[in-house]
């Protein structure tokens, strides 16, 4: 329930709001209260304004002129509200998931028949609390998606149940609280933060971040979208996640979970402990490529895939009655869509 009190004084309208509900609902009633206050002021209203309840009922209560922040005299600031609900951003584990990965590339349009610069990854906060995402790592896991060429074989690193072996890793800049994802909201990471028309229907000009490979001298930096920080580089002139199917991980390092350099068959990889993984999705070439899973089953028990390359397809997390499915099994948690959408 939300209650508000208002009184008309020489200093203007004094309004007090106190809520016992989720912050998102409280904001709705604050908006209603403000609208009512403006309407009342225009009408030169001086009568008692009463209190509003969540079910639409009201009860009268004389308003008093006061500068207190809450009806009960509580503090205006603090980590918790009246009900003890956290208002400070929380850690991402158990709250932040990979929600969509668009990797296949655009179907042939105009003169571009192999266009992949429109790739994006979307994260979603599936909790009812804000999540602190600054400093979070995101990258693609090393290894082939399947038998791309005759004779290709899996490397076997997924048999290590304690570590994940990353090919390229990026970091969201800033301290944890510098980047906050509100409940239910997405954070979108673009390969190139631009509207990709006419080569693609995907518009990433409003992305939260893009992956700019400055060292290549060939990648273009789009100034309206902030850059991720490149932590471990196995890119080319830009960050192309394989169109055959990438495995993607988000991770958060701690004093007890640190990254290590790891050399494997001439590749310099970054070894992340499984304990640092916030979420991961294993995407392979097709239904017959289970042997090419890159993630240990403790991170993802299954895998998902698209119908082919340059199909304009993405994998997106399933939602049932508005609730995101997260069982750590990509076989059941994700579905294929031919309409990638950064803002769904």
pLDDT at 256: 84
- DSSP class of residue 7 equals E
Instruction: Specify the length of the chain in residues.
Output: 344
Average pLDDT, the chain: 83
DSSP-assigned beta bridge partners for residue 85: none
What does the pLDDT look like over 160-211, one tens digit per residue? Answer: 999 999 999 999 999 999 999 999 999 999 999 999 999 999 999 999 999 9
When comparing pLDDT for 274 and 27, which is higher? 274
Backbone angles phi and psi of 274, in degrees to 5: -55, -30
Spatial CA neighbour of 315 closest among 292, 334, 290:
334
pLDDT tens for 89-136 read 999 999 999 999 999 999 987 666 789 999 999 999 999 999 999 999
pLDDT band for 72, please (50, 70, 90 cuts).
very low
Residue 289: what pLDDT?
Answer: 98
pLDDT of 225 > 50? The answer is yes
| Tally of CA atoms within 13 A in the half-sphere of 192 that contains its CB | 19
Whether residue 68 has pLDDT greater than 50: no
38 pLDDT exceeds 70? no
Query: Has residue 145 got a pLDDT over 90?
Result: yes
Neighbour tally for 197: CB within 10 Å:
12
pLDDT of res. 110: 66
**Angstrom distances, CA of residue 19 to CA of 56, 69, 82, 174, 299:** 14, 12, 8, 32, 39
Which distant-in-sequence residues (6+ apart) come within 8 Å of 208 by Cβ?
179, 187, 188, 189, 225, 226
- For the residues 305-324, what does the mean pLDDT come to? 96
Q: What is the pLDDT of residue 111?
A: 66
CA distances from residue 38 to 5, 50, 215 in whole angstroms, order as listed: 14, 15, 55
- Please give the average per-residue pLDDT across 287-304, as a whole number: 98
For residue 86, what pLDDT is reported? 54
Is pLDDT at 138 greater than 50 in this prediction? Answer: yes
Give the pLDDT score at 257.
85
User: CB atoms < 10 A from the CB of 169, how many?
Assistant: 22
pTM of the predicted model as reported, rounded to 2 decimal places: 0.75
Radius of gyration of the chain from Cα atoms? 25
**Stretch 274-295: mean pLDDT:** 98
Q: What percent of the chain has pLDDT over 70?
A: 74
What pLDDT does 37 receive? 47
Among the ranges given (6-20, 91-105, 199-213, 325-339), the one the predictor scored with the smallest mean pLDDT: 6-20
**340 has pLDDT over 70:** yes
pLDDT computed for residue 52 by the predictor:
39
- Predicted confidence at residue 122, as pLDDT, reads 98
Task: Name the least confident of 37-46, 206-215, 238-247.
Answer: 37-46
Min mean pLDDT across 106-115, 234-243, 256-265, 328-337 is at 106-115
**pLDDT at residue 22, rounded to an integer:** 45
pLDDT at 45 over 90: no
Section 6-35 average pLDDT: 45
56 or 191, which is more confident: 191
pLDDT at 248 over 80: yes
What's the pLDDT band for 75 if we cut at 50, 70, 90? very low
Q: Give, in order, the Cα–Cα distances in Å from 32 to each of 21, 41, 75, 87.
A: 15, 14, 23, 22
């Amino acid at each position: 329930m939300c209650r508000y009190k208002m009184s008309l004084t020489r200093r203007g309208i004094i309004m007090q709001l106190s809520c016992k509900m989720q912050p998102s609902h409280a904001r709705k009633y604050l908006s209603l209260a403000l609208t009512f206050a403006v309407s009342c002021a225009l009408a030169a209203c001086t009568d008692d304004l009463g209190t509003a309840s969540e079910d639409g009922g009201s009860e009268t209560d004389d308003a008093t002129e006061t500068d207190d922040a809450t009806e009960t005299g509580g503090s205006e600031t603090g980590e918790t509200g009246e009900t003890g609900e956290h208002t400070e951003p929380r850690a991402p584990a158990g709250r932040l998931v990979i929600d969509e990965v668009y990797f296949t590339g655009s179907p042939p349009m105009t003169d571009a028949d192999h266009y992949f610069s429109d790739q994006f990854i979307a994260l979603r906060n599936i909790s009812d609390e804000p999540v602190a995402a600054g400093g979070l790592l995101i990258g693609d896991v090393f290894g082939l998606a399947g038998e791309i060429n005759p004779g290709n074989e899996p490397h076997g690193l997924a048999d290590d149940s304690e570590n994940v072996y990353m090919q390229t890793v990026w970091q969201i800049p800033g301290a944890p609280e510098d980047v906050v994802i509100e409940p239910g909201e997405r954070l979108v990471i673009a390969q190139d933060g631009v509207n990709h028309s006419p080569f693609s229907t995907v518009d990433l000009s409003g992305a939260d971040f893009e992956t700019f490979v400055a060292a290549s001298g060939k990648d273009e930096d789009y100034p309206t979208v902030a850059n991720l920080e490149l932590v471990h580089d196995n890119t080319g002139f830009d960050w192309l996640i394989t169109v055959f199917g990438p495995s993607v991980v988000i991770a958060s390092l701690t004093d007890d979970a640190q990254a290590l350099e790891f050399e494997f068959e001439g590749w310099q990889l970054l070894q992340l402990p499984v304990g640092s993984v916030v979420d991961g999705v294993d995407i392979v070439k097709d239904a017959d490529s289970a042997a090419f899973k890159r993630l240990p089953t403790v991170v993802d028990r299954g895998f998902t895939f698209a119908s082919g390359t340059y199909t304009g397809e993405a994998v997106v997390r399933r939602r049932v009655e508005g609730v995101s499915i997260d069982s750590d099994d990509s076989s059941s948690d994700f579905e294929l869509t031919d309409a990638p959408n950064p803002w769904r």
